[in-house]
Amino acid sequence: MTSSLVEVCNILVGHTFDDISQRIFTKLANGGRTTFNLLKSLHFRDTAPRRLKQSLARLIQHRLVLHYTENADTDAERTYYSVDWHVAYGWIRNGRLVALVQDRHGHKAASLMAMLLQVGHTTVADLASAFSFEEASGSKRDAGTDINAVPHVNGNGTANGTHAHRQRDSGTIQSIEELHYILRKLLHAGILQKVGTHTFKPQADAEAEIQAVVMEEQFPDGKITGPRKQAEFKRSVDSLKRKWRDEEQYDEHRDADTNGTIKRPGQDATAANKRRKMNGASTNGHGEVQADFSGPKLPNDMSIGINHARCTVALRSEQLVHYAKQYLGHTTAGVYRALLVALEKKIRSIRDDTMVYEDEDDEDEAQPVASVMEVADHLNPNLDLTPPSKANKAATTNGGPKVKKKGTIEYDPEFADIGIKREVASDSDDDITPIKAQGRRLDTIEQHLKLLEEHTSQFCHRPSVTGSSEWRVSFPFITRTLIQAQIDTTIQRRFGSVGVRVARMLREEGKLEEKQVAQRVLKHVKDIRSTLGLMQAAGLLETQELPRDQYRQPTKCVYLWYFDEKKVQAQVLAQSYQGIARCLQRMDVEQTRFQQVLDKRARLRADSGEDEQRTFMMGKAGLLEEEGAPLSGVEKLQLGQWREVQEKLLAQVGRLDELVALMRDFDGGDVSMIC
């Protein structure tokens, strides 16, 4: 881990956990994996072992710390602990994850997601015990709750005089069947995952364990010589890795509890959406459509947690939609969102480590495809696909509806020169059949996909099959294109248009001398020399010295300039980490200025029993305060100032995190360890 990344993760952990947990994370991040006894003897001599174990267990609960037991079947067993910095840094995206789940699955799923982000991995029974439901059916053993309790979530009781239908629209989960339905839906979408024995193992230890098993079972002689045996060993390791991974993956048939409702053949986790009570309500937020929650219950002892790999895939889709919206507009971006959501179900993670690609073409061919029908199934039904020209024709005129004509007048191609016209019958709304309307909708969707394909970033493209209605997104190519555009934007803001021309030219041409650089950017050598020196001092350009003779005299050497994109990418990433750390530190400093009014606000909130369901961002520092407490005018003014400062800093952190996601996460190539 880089020092700037350690600093960011340390601040995020400190905002949520106690000082001992923060110190444990810092020592493991800086010193690497270690045992409990070594950690206790070197860094926590004055801390009680019980308290140290509790803090360590709390970090493991949130998967911030991984563990691996060596020689588990012998008396010489030893457990090593190491940090998972991917999950630690992911805490900065908790607010975006909750907003994403709310946008796709509704308010109730978002509240459940926020709860899991706060408590870490847990069992279904423990999660159900956090709720209390009035059950019409089922047993107390199945629900894991008290059936005579009043409906509330996290201690939030119902208001006096609240009607039953108001409770259903309050955004809280009302029954144990609804809880299991939302869990199944999130598990089916990949947002949640089963937590098994291999979940908390470091990747290197799991790889070594798999290799040892394969070596013992298939290569007892311990010899892997020759390319044939090495290829066979690699295939066996990847096969066992996929087998272990699939065993711990959620399966709607294998993980169904027998105490639940019997599942009909062919019914999946989201099939209950087909049977709904439509009362003119929307699908999200208040007035949520009441779905049929019948289905199998999950086992009470099944552990579930956040699937950070699939969450990264979903966040990548949202970011790519944001880029497409900037270039091609809202409607085309909505079609692109549907395409990416259809592809998400076929993508396990950003990069599958069990797949080996010979070149970029093989990696592109391995990307999943989605048909136009699948895109239409995931398209927002409220998205208007009508072209602007047709929408203007259908608009009203002078405050009244336009009179429909039976036909349109157009020139006959054969007699166009002499001006003879003919009347052509047009399709009215009454003549359009459902099949024809569906065909027109698919054609319109395909036209939007062609716009995405024709863009310079090539947001999507057809496979090589001629006449195919399937579409594919080349994530490695589009990520490289966006990274290059972001690097060019950074160079342009710092060094102007000349710096961008130099960077692009060296990226395409390779290593060049100073005179060659000046010729290609159409500048004099004296004018370009200062720009090259400044860019080299900033770490954006590199030089290579080639001596002409054995004496290596400076006057007889050739100096070549070149642009190392990977190094620049790692440098921009490290600077983004440092910027995020400075913003979070500044937030802590600003919070001390308003600590008195914030403490009073917290006391008034506790005395009045006011709910504290606020935006879950990144612990204490990411919770935006709410209004409503009886504060004085000066205190309200101070609270407003704090809220304004906090919003500005969090907005800057969000922009920097988008840059980190582009540079590090979208292509799966981690460059955080380079600098």
Going along 248-381, which residue ranges are E strands? 276-277, 290-291, 303-306, 369-371
CA distance 444 to 390: 12
Please list the alpha-helical segments (H only) found in 456-594: 475-509, 514-520, 525-537, 565-593
In this prediction, residue 2 carries a pLDDT of 80
- pLDDT score at 1: 66
Between 330-344 and 434-454, two packed helices, what is the crossing angle to 10 degrees? 100
The separation between CA 538 and the C-alpha centre of its own chain, rounded to angstroms, equals 31
Q: Give, to the nearest 10 degrees, the angle between helix 3-16 and helix 565-593.
A: 30
pLDDT of residue 498: 92
Q: At 192, which helix (H) or strand (E)?
A: strand 192-194
- Higher confidence at residue 347 or residue 98? 98
Cα 24 to Cα 70, 212, 440, 578, distances in angstroms? 21, 31, 60, 22
* Strand ranges for 92-130 from DSSP E: 122-123
Q: Percent of the chain at pLDDT above 90?
A: 30
pLDDT in tens, 129-179: 888 764 433 444 444 433 333 333 333 443 334 343 334 445 688 888 889
In this predicted structure, the answer to whether residue 339 has a pLDDT above a threshold of 90 is yes
> Tell me: the pLDDT tens digits for 48-63?
989 999 999 999 999 9
The CA distances from residue 665 to 190, 310, 345, 534, 659, in Å, are 18, 12, 18, 30, 10
* Residue 197 to residue 673: CA distance in whole angstroms: 27
Return the minimum-mean-pLDDT range out of 320-329, 442-451, 607-616: 607-616
d(CA 521, CA 502): 7
Maximum average pLDDT range among 356-360, 503-507, 613-617: 503-507
Q: Are 602 and 596 in contact (CB under 8 A)?
A: no
Return the pLDDT at 414. 57
Instruction: List, as one string, the DSSP characters of 344-397.
Output: HTT-SSSS-TT---SSHHHHHHTS-EEEHHHHHHTS-TT-----HHHHHHTS-B
Burial 164-182 (b: 16+ CB within 10 A, else e): eeeebebbbbbbbbbbbbb
Mean pLDDT of 297-302: 87
Written as one letter, the residue type at 44 is F
Instruction: State pLDDT tens for residues 403-446.
Output: 444 445 555 555 556 655 555 555 555 556 777 778 888 889 98
pLDDT for the residue numbered 9: 92
Q: Which residues contact 237 (CB under 8 A, 6 or more apart)?
A: 207, 210, 211, 214
Beta-sheet pairing, 34-35 with 78-83: antiparallel
**Cα angle at 211 between 221 and 306, to 5 degrees?**
165
Strands 470-472 and 557-562, by their bridges, are unpaired
Going by the DSSP 8-state scheme, the letter that residue 150 receives in this structure is P
Quick one: tokens of 521? 């950017």
Q: Which of 427, 439, 448 is CA-nearest to residue 385? A: 448
Least reliable range by pLDDT among 304-308, 489-493, 549-553: 549-553
Contact between 50 and 33 (Cβ < 8 Å) = no
Decide if 534 contacts 502 (C-beta within 8 A).
no
pLDDT average, residue stretch 76-97 = 89
Helix (H) or strand (E) holding 42: helix 36-43
> 269 and 345 in contact (C-beta within 8 Å)?
no
What pLDDT sits at residue 577?
A: 94
Query: If you average pLDDT over every residue of the chain, what do you get?
Result: 78
Give the number of other Cβ atoms within 10 Å of residue 280's Cβ: 6
Residue 563's pLDDT is what? 93
> Tell me: the pLDDT tens digits for 464-498?
765 678 898 888 888 888 899 999 999 999 999 99
- 77 three-state secondary structure: coil
At 536 the pLDDT is: 92
Residue that the structure tokens 């001398």 belong to: 513
Could you tell me the pLDDT band of residue 92, with boundaries at 50, 70 and 90? very high
CA dist 87 → 285, 460, 571 (Å): 29, 30, 22
pLDDT in tens, 241-280: 888 887 777 777 777 665 544 444 444 444 444 444 433 3
Q: Could you give the C-alpha distances from 265 to 6, 85, 180, 187, 255, in angstroms and in order? A: 50, 42, 19, 19, 15
Nearest CA to 407 out of 432, 427, 377 is that of: 427
Give the model confidence (pLDDT) of 650-675 as tens digits: 999 999 999 999 998 886 555 443 33
